Amino acid sequence: MEKAALLSEQYADEANLSTRGEFNARFLVDDHHPHDWVYSELPLAPDATVLDVGCGPGGFWTVNSEHISESWKAVLSDFSSGMVSEAENQLQENSIGGDFTIADTEHLPFAQETFNMVLALQMLYHSPYLAVAIQECERVLAADGCLYATTGSSQNVAQLYKMMSTVADGSVSSLVGGFTAENGREQLGKHFDHVERRLFENEVRVDDPDALTAYALSLPLEDSRLSAFDAEDAEALRELAAAHIREHGAVRWTKDMTLFIAKS
């Protein structure tokens, strides 16, 4: 998906991410927030310098607002000005200090070896130039620094995609193909000497066909992997989901998260 389309249609503001975040909070079986889990895996050096690329509306920071060290130097970047603005607002409301910049992950405006940690949470699979994005993350890391990158399995959300394909004029497939739980170690290993993989297992069980349909409509349907489904298919999806729920009690799909920790 072209970044111009992502910017104008999907990530101009936080609305779509908020829809999905509220859905996950309601229907994930394990309500331990993924951002909370990621934080628990980080080294808690009091004077860390941290870059959050593709920060979105600052969810990682607001979820962990009670734990973030005041001595951390945090920089949040995103290619969407709307996301950066919302992240700045959210961190201010939670009394978290930070700097904010509009930046493309493939062209980070920072000097070499600037940060102890780079966070790339659920975003590298959006990059059309993945190798360049990873190389940039490596470039701005200090010699002893680590990249913390999360992604999902290519099998995540499979049941929803199957249902969307059933009612659409064509097939729908996973968005995370470029950087997944299955291939992330290989992708990062081209740029880092050591790559560790950690897993947070979870599952969605949704018993509300309207919520399921709203979640589907919040996805980046402009992407060619999803574009067979559109708003005209929404009612058919709702009816299919309702029938499935009546028969099985809920629509279920895996929602695992993998954290890769990479260092040179």
The domain limits of the chain are 3-154+175-204+254-263
Which amino acid type is present at position 147? L
Q: Which residue has the tokens 């000005």?
A: 81
DSSP string, 93-112: HTT---EEEE--GGG--S-T
Q: How far apart are CA 172 and CA 221, in angstroms?
A: 10
Residue 69's nearest CA partner among 53, 89, 49 is 49
**CATH homologous superfamily of domain 3-154+175-204+254-263?**
Vaccinia Virus protein VP39 (3.40.50.150)
Q: How far apart are CA 93 and CA 65, in angstroms?
A: 10
One digit per residue, the tens of pLDDT, for the chain of length 264 reads 455 555 445 566 678 888 998 999 999 999 888 999 999 999 988 889 999 999 999 999 999 999 998 899 999 999 999 999 999 999 999 999 999 999 999 999 999 999 999 999 999 998 989 999 999 999 999 999 999 999 999 999 999 999 999 999 899 998 888 899 999 999 999 999 999 999 999 999 999 999 999 999 999 998 889 999 999 999 999 999 999 999 999 999 999 999 999 999
Helix H or strand E encompassing 154: none
The number of angstroms, rounded, from the C-alpha of 14 to the middle of its chain's C-alpha atoms is 13
